[in-house]
Amino acid sequence: MMKRLTSRARTRTLPLLAIAVPLPFTVYAQEPAQLETVVVSATRSNITTDKSPQTVQVITQEQIEQQLSISTNASDVLSNLIPSYTPSRGKLTGSGETLRGRTPLILIDGVPQSNPIRPTGREVHTIDYSMLERIEVIQGANAVNGLGATGGVINLVTKRPEDGTLNQHIDVQMTMPTERVDGDGLSLRTTYGLNGRQGAWDYLLSLSYDDQGTYRDAKGRLIGVDNTQGDMMDSRSYDVLAKLGYQIDGKQRLQMSVNRYRIKNNADYLSVTGNRQLGIPTTSREGTPPGSAPRNDVWTSSVNYQNTDFAGMELSVMAFNQEFEGLFGATNTATFQDVRFAPLGTLYDQSRSVASKYGSKVTLTKSDLMDRRLKLTGGFDTLFDKGKQDLYGTGRTYVPESKYNNLSLFGQAEFQLTDALTVHGGVRREDAELKVGSYRTLAANNGVLVEGGKIDFKDTVYNAGLVYTPVKGLSLFGSYSEGFGIPDVGRTLRSINQPGQRIDNLSALQPIITESKEVGVRGAQGAFDGSLSYFQSDSDLGARVTSVGGVFLTAREKTRIQGVDASVGFKINPQHKVKLSYVHTRGRYDSDENGSLDAKLDGLNVSPDRVVASWSADWSREVSTYVQVQHAFTRSFDESAKHFSGYTLVDAALRYQLPKGELKFAIANLFNEDYITYYSQSALVEPDRYFAGRGRTLTIGYSLYF
């Protein structure tokens, strides 16, 4: 793709070997490639990608912008760029979207977006991705970042001010289907940003507004709207990001950041039930659904202090706050019925999740020990989370107000044993407390009184790893890492239907300890770079998500997920680069509690095998193109109705540099593939959520930096 004049960090997902094959084109002579040394802040100890004992991927701003021209849905961006991430549902709620089959911890500049008391599946939709400079992905359980990182970490790093007193940027784009084009199907998006530096001060302000129209499938039918879980279709969102920084001196810096994100459905359409047996997807028709429209409303703020010479160490201190409100749509589900309000089957109500969290992260690093061979990192984290889930229409308690307080101490070591061998090790101590007051469940759960109480979570998790570099440009790595998490507290508390229950006796709230193992190789040689790894994660007491009577519950069972993650890139010449990635994932669980892993995990808990290929080309100083192909393989499950038939999607983008600004053209689903989403085929057997994927769309945009 065309490069802007401003510098951007460029990264690769690493590895393998060069293979001599005859090629029908010229391969330009190149210097031997080296593993890139990009610092990953999500590791807390600032490990570089070439020394990480786990698979690490850093997604650049250029890659993010390419994807946003194809789709502005954050889940689409992650799925397209991270092959081990589950194919996007295309909806506002992303439950079932996992990383290597487990839930990742989503961070914005290190601030956790996940809510431990009542995860909503909306953690991906708390910021507009046009605000991002890069995305850091750590695959597998992570003992460093603590609560929720059982599947890995996805750290969304926001943009920083550039040099100059005033830099501005504006971007506008319009997206439309190519089948049955009308005014309702147009989506309009605009972003504006300004930033700069003046003396010791720097600042940044970014704004975005996104008005999404209706979506159509490959046959021109309106895609079914999810009025309950929330939808990206027929929605409006805006985001405001503000940063103010002050360079105290050459070693100290202070920064404040605030982000406000809001997305709300327009509530102009009703769902029309499909037919799975006949292959007829759920569609939409004009109409006003009951209740208030689903929405996400999120404030994220932080204050950061950094000192690069604090008694000879590097000190990083962050304090943060997040205020979250997620409203779901109204439904007359049996769970919400109560004859005190209306006759059975007639009461429409909707749930609302509210969470308020404060916390801090303190990190100290000493990197020049033992002739700079040893780096030690230590620190502590705090988290004070208060949340509840109520029924918005009637004011009833669905999940009682709960308080979660956590103090964690951690230490990490990176020791270069020899010039070729680096050893990693670390430990994290989790000391947490959950307090819940007494409450009464809904009438559908017999309206039983549950006695409040307190549960203590105390666990120590470990990690260890090796990175061996026998020759320049080639690394072998292996790691063992444990992740700490707690099950969905809300799902457990709201489903109690037997009297005499006490909070401090609920075994279903025992913590989730995930053991993650990975071995692999990464390297670069000549025009080739690539990686290959085998991964496995185990939980003796996992948290499998299951649907019972339309209500999502958590099953605590032994689970194992294992697979292979591979990628290879080839630089044909300085202007052309191709890349191919493949991920195979297999998940099983103990369905009868006899210790054997006898059953397959379904699409709510594990992703399909996928191949993702891309070709980026700079044809001239003015013209660049990007093509990506992704294929999801067929997969069967124990439940015969959950059968995934697979599909192939092709997307293409073109940029043309004008004397002032840049024109953008993109076509998503280039060949107008007619398909049903992975979630709709493999996660649930519901005619109301038998959703087709989007058909071909065309995006036209203009971008200007000034």
- pLDDT per residue as tens digits for the range 312-358: 999 999 999 999 999 999 999 999 999 999 999 999 999 999 999 99
What contacts 24+ positions apart, CB below 8 Å, involve 658-663? 660/704, 660/706, 661/702, 661/703, 661/704, 661/705, 662/2, 662/702, 662/703, 662/704, 663/700, 663/701, 663/702
Residue in the block written with tokens 């620190």 = 379
Within the chain, what is the greatest distance between any pair of CA atoms?
A: 79
Token pair listed for 446: 């017999």
- Across 292-300, average pLDDT: 97
pLDDT for the residue 545: 66
Length of the chain: 706
Average pLDDT over residues 74-82: 96
The DSSP letter of residue 451 is B
User: Residue 254 — very low, low, confident or very high, per pLDDT cuts 50/70/90?
Assistant: very high
Confidence label for 157 from pLDDT (cuts 50, 70 and 90) = very high
Of 651, 613, 663, which Cα lies nearest the Cα of 73? Answer: 651
8 A C-beta contact, residue 654 and residue 625: yes
Nearest to 97 by CA among 82, 111, 109: 82
DSSP string, 671-706: T----B-HHHHHT---GGG-PBPP--EEEEEEEEE-
Residue 169 and residue 657: Cα distance in Å, rounded?
A: 15
**Structure token pair of residue 315:** 């000190």
pLDDT at 551 (0 to 100): 58
Taking a C-beta distance cutoff of 8 angstroms, is the pair 246, 199 a contact? no
pLDDT of residue 2: 38
What's the pLDDT band for 112 if we cut at 50, 70, 90? Answer: very high
Average pLDDT, rounded, for the chain? 90
Top-confidence residue, 173 or 3: 173
CA dist 388 → 120, 448, 473 (Å) = 11, 18, 51
Choose the weakest-confidence range: 45-59, 118-132, 653-667.
Answer: 45-59
3-state class (DSSP) for residue 221: coil
Q: Which residues contact 15 (CB under 8 A, 6 or more apart)?
A: 521, 522, 523, 524, 529, 530, 531, 532, 567, 568
pLDDT for position 12 = 34
Digit-coded pLDDT (tens) for 176-220: 999 898 999 999 999 999 999 999 999 999 999 999 999 999 999
* Mean pLDDT in residue range 603-622: 95
Rounded to whole angstroms, the Cα distance separating 190 from 182 reads 20
The pTM of the full predicted model, rounded to 2 decimals, is 0.91
Separation of alpha carbons 527 and 569, rounded Å: 8
Q: At what angle do helices 61-70 and 74-81 cross, to 10 degrees?
A: 120
Whether the Cβ atoms of residue 682 and residue 157 lie closer than 8 Å to each other: no
Sign, CA torsion 497/501/504/508: negative
d(CA 559, CA 539): 5
Write the CB contacts of 21 (distance below 8 Å, at least 6 apart in sequence). none
Q: H/E/C letters for each residue in 3-18? A: CCCCCCCCCCCCCCCC
pLDDT at 436 over 80: yes
**pLDDT grade for 595, boundaries at 50, 70 and 90:** confident
> Within 191-277, where are the H helices?
none
Q: Which residue carries 């995006």 as its tokens?
A: 699
CA neighbours within 13 Å on the CB side: how many for 344?
4
Average pLDDT, stretch 237-262? 97
How many Å is the Cα radius of gyration of the chain? 25
What pLDDT is attached to residue 13? 36
Rounded alpha-carbon distances, angstroms, from residue 680 to 94, 167, 646: 12, 44, 12
Predicted confidence at residue 487, as pLDDT, reads 81
Residue ranges in 468-519 assigned as alpha helix (H): 489-494
Under the banding of pLDDT at 50, 70 and 90, the label for residue 374 is very high
Please give the single-letter amino acid code of residue 653.
A
Range in 178-182, 197-201, 505-509, 673-677 the model is least confident about? 505-509
Judged against a pLDDT cut of 90, whether residue 409 lies above it is answered with yes
Higher pLDDT, 39 or 98: 98
Strand segments, DSSP code E, in 266-336 are: 269-272, 283-286, 295-310, 313-327
**Interval 410-415 mean pLDDT:** 95
C-alpha distances in Å from residue 218, one per residue of 32, 221, 223, 403, 692: 45, 7, 10, 47, 9
- pLDDT of 95 > 90? The answer is no
Percentage of residues in the chain having pLDDT higher than 90: 79
Cβ atoms 95, 122 nearer than 8 A? no
Report the pLDDT value the prediction gives residue 509, as an integer from 0 to 100. Answer: 81
pLDDT tens figures, 4-20: 333 333 333 333 223 33
Question: What percentage of the chain exceeds 70 in pLDDT?
Answer: 93
Judged by DSSP in three states, 628 sits in: strand
In this prediction, residue 171 carries a pLDDT of 97
Q: What are phi and psi of 407, to 5 degrees?
A: -125, 125
